Amino acid sequence: MAATHWSKRSIAKEGTVEFSICIDVDDVDRAVVFYGRGLGLTVVEAHPDWAHVKAGSQTFWIMKAPAGAQGQISRDYRRHWTPVHLDFTVEDIDAAVGRAIDAGGTLEGKIQRGAKGALANLSDPSGNGVDLVSPVKK
C-alpha cells in the first residue's frame, strides 16, 4: 500500500511532534510506586487523582479514572489486552523485572530470551500492559 499524504500542513513544528502518554489507573499511589520506584521514571508531581512522571523528556500523566460505566466507555481494571502498550528498554532485565514486581507489577509468564535480546511482559497494578525489553549489546 502506498503512503498517503493527507495534507501539506503538518501537526509537527519544524519536524518535531511532542506528545504525552496518559495512563488510566484505579489507584494513583500504587501507580506512582510502580512507575517511579519500579520502572525508574522521575516523579515530578503526585496528587490523589493524578501524577506527572517523566522518562527523560517524555511526559506521562497517571490519571485516576474510576472503574465502571462512564457514558459509552466502561473501565475494568482486571488485566486486559490492548493493542497499544508501553515498552521500556532496560540494561539488566532480571534486575528490572525484580524492581517492577517489588513495586506491585505482575510478571506474565517467563522472561523470553532470544538472539535479539530479552523481553518481559508485565502488567502494572491497574492491569495495564507494560513490556521490559533488553536488546543484545552490540
Tell me what percent of the residues of the chain surpass a pLDDT of 90: 65
In a domain, 96, yes or no: yes
In a domain, 60, yes or no: yes
In a domain, 35, yes or no: yes
- What are the tens digits of pLDDT across the range 27-66? 999 999 999 999 999 999 999 999 999 999 999 999 998 7
* pTM, entire model: 0.81
- What are the tens digits of pLDDT across the range 67-122? 767 666 666 656 666 667 789 999 999 999 999 999 999 999 999 999 999 999 99
Using alpha carbons, select from 79, 83, 45 the residue that is nearest to residue 62: 45
In a domain, 1, yes or no: no
Number of domains into which the chain is organized: 1
User: Domain of 38?
Assistant: 20-67+80-135
In a domain, 118, yes or no: yes
Using alpha carbons, select from 21, 19, 27 the residue that is nearest to residue 124: 27
In a domain, 56, yes or no: yes
pLDDT beyond 90 at 124: yes
In a domain, 73, yes or no: no
Supply the CATH number for residue 26's domain. 3.10.180.10
pLDDT beyond 70 at 134: yes
Using alpha carbons, select from 82, 122, 60 the residue that is nearest to residue 133: 122
